[in-house]
Homo-oligomer: A and B are copies of this chain.
Amino acid sequence: MPKKKKTKDPRKEAKKKLVEFGSEVLESIKKTEPPRMKVPSRSTSNILYDDKNRFYTLGEKVGTRTAANMRQVKKFAQTMCAAEFCRSLIDADKTATLREMYYTSEGWETGGFSDQGRSDKVVEDLESAFGVKREDLGLLPEEDGASIFGELVVDEGGMEVNATEAGRAGYTIPPTMNDVEFLECDAKKVLAVETMGMYHRLVQEEAWDQFDALVVALKGQPARATRRFLKRANEELGLPIHLFTDGDPFGFHIAMVVISGSAKLAYINHELAVPDAKFIGVTASDIEDYDLPTDKLRETDVKRLKQLLDDPRYSDDTWQSEIKKMLKIGKKAEQQAFSKYGLDYVVNEYLPSKLS
- Which of A103, A147, A334 lies at the interface centre, i.e. has the most chain B CB atoms within 10 A of its CB? A103
Q: Can you list 17 A-B contacts (CB < 8 A)?
A: A94-B343, A96-B201, A96-B339, A97-B197, A100-B339, A101-B339, A103-B293, A104-B340, A106-B340, A144-B144, A145-B169, A147-B172, A156-B168, A159-B167, A166-B166, A167-B172, A169-B174
Q: Other than the known A97-B201, A106-B340, A107-B340, what 7 A-B pairs have Cβ atoms closer than 8 Å? A: A99-B197, A101-B339, A103-B334, A104-B340, A166-B166, A168-B174, A169-B174
The 5 closest A-B pairs by CB, nearest first: A169-B172, A97-B197, A100-B339, A166-B166, A169-B174
Q: Does A243 contact B (CB under 8 A)?
A: no
Residue from the list B97, B107, B112, B156 in contact with A167, Cβ < 8 A = B156
In the bound complex, do residue A143 and residue B343 qualify as a contact, i.e. CB atoms below 8 Å apart?
no
Tell me, in angstroms, the Cα distance from A96 to B204 when the chains sit together: 10
Give the interface centre of A101, A169, A201, A342 by most chain B CB atoms within 10 Å: A169
Beta-carbon contact of A142 and B293 below 8 Å: no
Q: Are B172 and A341 in contact (CB under 8 A)?
A: no
Cα distance A143–B94 in the bound complex, in angstroms: 30
B197 touches A103 (CB 8 A): no
* Chain B, Cβ-Cβ closest to A337: B103
- Chain A contact patch, size range: 35 or more
- A167 lies within 8 A of B167 (CB): no
Give the distance in Å from the alpha carbon of A157 to the alpha carbon of B206 in the complex.
Answer: 14
Complex: how many Å from CA A219 to CA B96? 17
Question: Which of B160, B172, B197, B341 lies in contact with A142, CB distance below 8 A?
Answer: B197
Contact with B along A86-105 (1 / 0, CB 8 A): 00000000111101110110
Contact between A143 and B339, CB atoms less than 8 A apart = no
> Is B174 in contact with A172, judged by CB distance below 8 angstroms?
no
Task: Given A165-B159, A169-B173, answer yes or no on A107-B142 (Cβ-Cβ < 8 Å).
Answer: no
In whole angstroms, how far apart are the Cα atoms of A204 and B157 in the complex? 12
Instruction: Report Cα–Cα, A259/B213, bound state, in Å.
Output: 41
Measured in the bound complex, the distance between the Cα atoms of B103 and A324 in whole Å is 26
> Which residue of the partner chain B has the closest CB to A160?
B165
Q: A167-B171, A336-B99, A339-B96 are in contact. Are A142 and B176 (CB under 8 A)?
A: no
Verify if A175 is at the interface (C-beta below 8 Å from B). yes
Q: How far is the CB of A135 from chain B (nearest CB, A)?
A: 12
